[in-house]
Structure 1
Amino acid sequence: MSNYIFEIQTEIIKRLPMKSLVQFRSVLKQWKSLIDSSQLIAEYQQNTRLQQHLLVRTDFFKYDCVSFLDNDTYPHQKVSITVPESVPNQIVGCSQGLFCFYDFHNAAVIWNPSIRKSVDVVVPGPFDGRFDNDNVGFGVCPRTLDPILVKIPTEYPIKNLDNTTWVVDVFRLSLGVWKSLCMDLPTWCITSTCSQVVIDKFIYWHVFERMSGYNLIISFDMISEEFTEIRLPDSLSGGNDDTDMYICKLKESLVVLQVDQTEFYGDCGVWMMDNGDPKSFENIYSIKSNIPDGSIQNVLEFNRNGEVIVVMTNEEKEHELFVYEPISQHVNHLGISAKRPSFFVGSYTGTLLLLDH
C-alpha cells in the first residue's frame, strides 16, 4: 500500500509547477530525494507544458536581467532576475534552459535562471597569465541532458598549415573533467565570430576561412563528438565587406542573417536551413531596416511565434527593444530601453537541470 501511495505522490509531483516543485524539496527527505533524482529531472524536461521565456539583459556590464513569458501576454508579464556575481560578462549561449557565460580568463559559469542555480567550471588554458582567446561553445546533450563545453582554437596556427590535427577540449558536467580530442579538421585558418546556436544534438558556429574570407558553418555533434563542415550557398559564402553574417534559431531550425552594411545597418536577409539539410538554405524573407515606425539598428532573436526581437533608436538616442512582425512590418514596444546598444536576448524553457548539483 505504501508503494502505491508513493507512486501516486510521484505522479502528482511531476505535474506541479516548477516553483512549487522546488519548494516541496524541503517538505520531506523522501520528496527531496525523488525531485533531485536524474530520472524525475529528465521526465520533467520532456514535459510539453513547460513555458518558454525570453531573457533580456540591457547592459554588457550589468548583471540584472528581465524575463518575459514568451506568449501572448508579454511584455506585460516580466520578472527581474539577478545573475550570480560570479557570472562573467560574455554570454556564450543557451541550451535546454541553461545559459553559459565565459570571460576568456579560464572561467565559465553554467546558470539555470528558472531555479536560480549556477555551477562554476574552470576552463583549461594558458597558465602564465596570458589572455586566452580560444572559442568556447556550450550545449546540453538531448540524449543524456548533460551540459557540455567545447573549447576549440580560434585561429589555426599559420606555421602548421600542413598539419591538419587540431586539439579540441571537451567538458561534460556529469564527469567533471576535461578531455582532449585530436581532430582532423581542414587545413585553412578559422577565426570564429563567436556566433553559436544549439539545435537538437548539434552546436553550430559561424566561422570564416581566414585565407579566403569565405563564410561557412561548422557543427559539433554532442553525442558522437564529431565536427562537420556546412558549406553555404554562393550568395552567403562569398567574402563581402558590405555584408555581415550571423546565425540564430527560428522554431528549431538554423537561420543565417545576412545584413547589408552599405549603410549603418541595412536590410537583413533571413535564410533558413530546412530539416537539418545543409543544402536546403532558402531565403524566406527580408527584414527591412527602415520601416514606418523608425529604423531598425539590430536583430537579436526570434520569439516562439517567429516574430523578431529588434533594437530601434528613439529621438532621445536611446536604444529600445521592439517585436517586429516581418510580413506587416508592424512593431510592438517591449518597454525596455538602454543608453548603450549592448542588449542580449535569449529564448529558453524552464528546466530543473542543475537541481542535483
Structure 2
Amino acid sequence: MEAWQYEGRVFPTSGLSAVAGKQTEDISPHALNYADMRPGCYEPKARVADMDQAGVVASLNFPSFPRFAGQTFMEGDDSKLGEICIRAWNDWMLDEWCATAPGRFIPGTLIPFWDVEASVKEVERCAAKGSKAIIFSENPAKLSYKGARMRSIHDRYWDPLWSVLQETQIPLCMHYGSSSNMQRTSDDAPYLVSLASNSFILPISTTLDWIFSGNLGRFPGLKIAMSESQIGWVAPTLERAEYVLRIHEEWNKKLQYSGTLADVKRVLTERDEELYIDERPPTQIFKEQIFTCFFSDFAGVKAMKDLDAVDNMLIEMDYPHTDSTWPNSLKLALEQVKDLTDEEKWKVLVGNAMRIHNFEPAYPNAAPTSV
C-alpha cells in the first residue's frame, strides 16, 4: 500500500478522495495507490486538462494528506517540524503546482494556526509570493494542540491574524470538516447520515459563530469564504439569527450563560466587559463579508436570489472527491443558474471568485465565450 508518513503515522489515500473518472459502483473508502487514481488527482498538467474538459476556467485546491486546514502538521509532537512542513507545502503550492499553469489555479496557502504569531508571519510571506487565500479551520475550538483545546474565534487571541488578513486583503477560506468534527447522530448510524447532514450543519454553525463573534464588525475588511458548504441553508439561518438577536441581544451583552434551561448546574455570570455585538443586522454582515460555495443546490440558488445575495455565492466542482460534478461541471452549473440574469450568471460562475480572491484567470481556448 502506498501512503504518506508523518512522525511515524501512516496516511493512506482514501478511495473517497480520488473518485474522478470512476463509476458509482467502483467507489469505496478502501485505500488507493496512485496507479488507481486519475492523473488529474495529483499531476497539475493533467488537472488542467480535466478542468478544460469540464469547462472550468480556474479553481482553488485544498490539501488532502495535510487535511483541510493542515491539522496533520499540528497533531505531531514536533511543532517546529509542523511549521517547516506548512512552509514547504505552501512553497510547493505556489512555486510548483500553481506555477505550472498560471491563471488556472487560485493559490491557497496554509498557516501554522496553532501559533498565531507564526501564522501572521506566514500570511505575510505567502502574500508577498502571490497567495490569494488563507486556509483555516471552520472551528479551531474543536481541535486540540499538545493536549489542550485550541481557542475559539471568540477569543481576541486571534486578532493579529484577522488584522493581517484585512491588511493583505486575502480571504479566510474554510472547508467543511476542517474542525475534524464530523457529527454523527449515533455510533451505528450509516455514514450516509453524516455525509448528507454535515455539509449543512457545520457551515451553519460557522456562519453564526462569525456573525455573533463581533470579529467582522471590528475587522470590516475581513472576508470569510466557506468551501463545499452549499447555500440552501443561508436564508433560514439568517432569518433565525435576526429573530434570536432581537430577543436576546440585551442580556447577552452583559451576561455569560452556559448549560441548558433545565440544567441545575447551569452557570450565569456577569461578563468582565460588555460583549461586542456588531451593530449591523446578521443579513447585512453576511452580504458584506461572508461567502459560500456550492456544487449542486438548485433550491439554494433560488433562495439566494430571493435574498438578494447573488454576490455571495460561488460555484465549485469538488474535483476529485465524491461530490465532484466532473466532467459535467459547466453543464450542471448552467442548469442551476438558468433563471438568473446574464450579469448574475457571470458573478456566480466567475466574477465573485475574481473579486473575492483578487484573481485574474487565464482562459483556456476551450472556455465558453458566453454563459
TM-score for both structures, normalised by structure 1:
0.27
Normalised TM-score (structure 2): 0.27
The higher relative CO (CA closer than 8 Å, separation ≥ 6) is in 2
